[in-house]
A and B are shown apart, each in its own frame.
Chain A
């Protein structure tokens, strides 16, 4: 195939959306329907990789769709941060589809056609977020992402699912329309543009008090980044089937949030301006408080998925801190953590789902001795835990290292201490799960039970992401290069 990069970029967004047609058309043939999902995900990943390789060759992409309002158009381009995000999301989409086939069938879920459709639309909008060239485009896809994931959260259709869905939609729409859109409009009026620009868009001499206010609106408004007190939607979303929690609420949706925060900090404000705004420091402490509080709450959760959800809230705080530190090390660390946390957390969720399918257990306190029945799953869980905590041999080590460097660079000693304490807390809420599984004895049955793992597609998916965690530790170089070029070269995006 010899498609131009611009075509490939549009395919990334459009393919998943058009795939829904195929999924609906083949709703009576399970295997063909899933083949459409897998085929599309492979194509999208291939397209993203081609774009990545093309960019290495120094190519540039600019796509304009249509102008919605004067001066505001739907347009797309590629820059390193978006590249990182789209690579992770498209790759993990493929893995998750493989996993979902095993899970959804193993669990006998209803409405699978609707499930795969919404999943595809969600991924298409994630690609839109990743490649958006201006805040306006980003906002539109951000909202489509919220709406398309709502049916996934309420998938079970039970009272609990409905309640979860209400919190989910309520918080995400409140923050995005009430604050995020407000901040975008404020930016539009003050700066006259919403294009992502290296060094920021605001004119020199703009009132820093107003800009500080807008920054606060941005940070609270991007509810998907789950900064407290607007984090409740994430635990609420855990009523969704596990593949949804795994891909969307550990990777795609939440990363769309922190990705947006990062973009706003670096390409709308610019780190020079960010460091002098009056509100940055307080927001930094707020993010720090989120990290600590979420970890403490996570320790108290007995439901495995809820514990992982609060852990996600905390880890997202890391990335927000990285963005708000307003130093190059912070940005590098934060961006790398987007990838590292994605691989770690998706593995943990995959394992949680596998435990649910194979052993029908969802509480931490029930996991005693499970390591003997599900050795592969629990080993993967252990490795991914290390990744989240940030110790070798998993990739999380590097991102946390750069984040710590960032705090030292900017002499944010309090934040440094918070990050260190939080790492200890991570150990305290993640490692006991593996310890219970491997070291404790199952109290319910003394007889030796045989190995009973999750369906094969689930295991394959778990295997891939676990290897990913380790691979990112051994070969962080490409990721580091992308992350460190975020601040230096917007030129590859705009071809200046």
Chain B
């Protein structure tokens, strides 16, 4: 059983998805989905433990040995990412039944859970597989289910947002496929470990460079790296709240994982950062993304838009860490992947609660909510402080590592810019705080109650995680630095 964990990680949600059709009753389907996701979470915890103790696990699918058969390869990096995905998925699902009650027609509930499980399968598959083509297959599974999930949103704007994402996402996926195809053409293999040993022989060719560029551009589209982020704000704003909370915390993280995996373990640092000018490019785009997206976030009136743009900015931070191509920089990036999942999961889920009670997430509808929904608003404030990077929250830990990494590399101005940028977050978070706490509710508007417990519990689980991992950083920091070290270990 334990030996088969790598494949179970993917198979459990995959098989659970069609099984939902048999159950049919929404309440049962919800419990079943929750169970499947929780199982995936437990598997990822076990995998991570195993990897931390004994090192990389290689699993041969169907007994065919790599590089001919498909290999699932779990190391510290992807075990960590899988843990984030399945963990957030499980916590978010706790609120799902209550939330979709008001956002999705009853007859589509089963469909919703099936799509959700498929999307989860896709993401976990991308992360666990050791085969480049498999990555593409799972990417399509997760993307197609994502388009449909977003289209389930409350009004017709969701369709438009979904269509936008479909176009951009398909272009991205195509680019990724072209990249993988070119790699296959040059090396004759699709196994990642095999690719890593064979690519250096042909690294001087233009085809390999083209392959890398196609692949990276495709991934950056999925990652929503500025300026390829245009699909993200609308998709996040108009999707059902649960979907937004789930995707904001996980889907871009998967793309970040691909970026790291292909750059560091397959093409290698010397290729990406010495032969190609990736350092300047990523640093520039990262910083630009941080400043532009944060500034845009300040001027949004829909709070979902605010945090969607803020997500684009946070991706900028990750990319800045990535562009350093040092151990410290990569650790900072991985930490922020983890921490950002906690912040955004909490924020979007809390917004789901607001939507559930108030029926809107426009800024003006937050007036007086500080009194009417004290626990939900307190959660938004704490998660917002974490986003800003106030000490004793995870946001601070991320910032600390990122800035130390920048200074160690001698990039003093970058360090300063990163810190200054967090002040933009103060502005957009504080707009919400002022509206919720200082403005009286609009006269004549019905007063609302605190969100139901099914919302409050998952929201506060995530908020407490924001504080807990901001104080006791042993787990997150240890894993992130170990993962970063292992990546630099395998790279020549």
Contact = CB atoms under 8 A, between A and B. Distances in A.
A170 B298 CA distance: 14
A60 B298 CA distance: 50
A166 B392 contact: no
A68 interface: yes
A177 interface: yes
Contacts of B422: 177
Interface string A150-176: 000010010000100010011001100
A144 B392 CA distance: 10
Interface in B400-443: 400, 403-404, 407-408, 412, 415-416, 419-420, 422-423, 426, 430, 434, 438
Interface string B302-324: 00000000000000000000000
B419 A181 contact: yes
B426 A140 contact: no
A181 B408 CA distance: 15
A392 B380 CA distance: 53
A170 to B, nearest CB: 7
B397 interface: yes
A448 interface: no
B391 interface: yes
Interface stretch (B199-207, B470-478, B483-491): B470-478
A143 B392 CA distance: 10
A69 interface: yes
A75 B423 CA distance: 28
A147 interface: yes
A429 B416 CA distance: 40
A188 B404 contact: yes
A147 B390 contact: yes
A189 interface: yes
A144 B396 CA distance: 13
A195 to B, nearest CB: 17
B401 to A, nearest CB: 8
B391 A139 contact: yes
Given A69-B397, A182-B416, A186-B407, A169 B477 contact: no
A39 interface: no
B169 interface: no
A70 interface: yes
Interface string B120-143: 000000000000000000000000
B172 interface: no
Interface string A173-199: 110011001100110110000000000
A76 to B, nearest CB: 16
A66 interface: yes
A73 B82 CA distance: 30
A170 B477 CA distance: 30
Contacts of B404: 185, 188-189
B389 interface: yes
Interface in B344-396: 385, 388-392
B400 A69 contact: yes
Given A70-B477, A169-B430, A189-B407, A162 B400 contact: no
- Give chain A's interface residue range (CB within 8 Å of chain B): 20 to 34
Nearest to A190: B407
A70 B419 CA distance: 21
A178 B390 CA distance: 12
A177 B389 contact: yes
B235 to A, nearest CB: 31
Interface string A62-97: 000010111000000000000000000000000000
A457 B390 CA distance: 38
B423 A178 contact: yes
Given A69-B477, A147-B390, A182 B419 contact: yes
A154 B439 CA distance: 12
Give the dominant DSSP class at A's interface.
helix
A166 B430 contact: yes
Contacts of A174: 423, 426
Contacts of A140: 391-392
Nearest to B403: A185
Contact of B438 (A68, A139, A143, A154): A154
A170 B420 CA distance: 12
Interface in A120-136: none
B101 to A, nearest CB: 34
A139 B392 CA distance: 11
Contacts of A182: 403, 415-416, 419
B472 A66 contact: yes
Nearest to A140: B391
Most buried by A among B385, B403, B477: B403
Contacts of A69: 397, 400, 473, 477
Contacts of B473: 68-69
Contacts of A185: 400, 403-404, 407, 415
Nearest to B440: A157
Contacts of B391: 139-140, 143-144
A189 B426 contact: no
Nearest to B420: A178
A66 B477 contact: no
Most chain A beta-carbon neighbours within 10 Å: one of B400, B416, B472: B400
A68 B390 contact: no
A25 B72 CA distance: 56
Contacts of A68: 397, 471-473
Given A69-B477, A185-B404, A162 B419 contact: no
B63 to A, nearest CB: 43
B430 A177 contact: no
B287 to A, nearest CB: 15
A475 B231 CA distance: 71
A170 B426 contact: yes
B438 A157 contact: yes
A169 B390 CA distance: 13
Nearest to A170: B426
A433 to B, nearest CB: 33
A181 B390 CA distance: 11
Contacts of A147: 385, 390
B126 to A, nearest CB: 31
Contacts of B388: 173, 177
A189 B477 contact: no
Nearest to A213: B412
Given A69-B397, A140-B392, A173 B423 contact: yes
B445 to A, nearest CB: 19
B419 A177 contact: yes
Contact of B426 (A139, A144, A162, A173): A173
A189 B406 CA distance: 10
Given A66-B472, A140-B391, A143-B390, 18 more contacts: A68-B471, A139-B391, A144-B392, A166-B434, A169-B426, A173-B423, A174-B423, A174-B426, A177-B422, A177-B423, A177-B426, A182-B419, A185-B400, A185-B404, A185-B407, A186-B412, A188-B404, A189-B404
24 contacts: A66-B472, A68-B397, A68-B471, A139-B391, A140-B391, A143-B390, A143-B391, A144-B391, A144-B392, A147-B390, A154-B438, A162-B434, A169-B426, A169-B430, A173-B426, A174-B423, A177-B419, A177-B423, A178-B416, A182-B403, A182-B419, A186-B407, A186-B415, A189-B407
Interface of B: 385, 388-392, 397, 399-400, 403-404, 407-408, 412, 415-416, 419-420, 422-423, 426, 430, 434, 438, 471-473, 477
5 cross-chain pairs, A with B, having the tightest CB-CB distances, nearest first: A140-B391, A189-B407, A185-B403, A178-B420, A182-B419
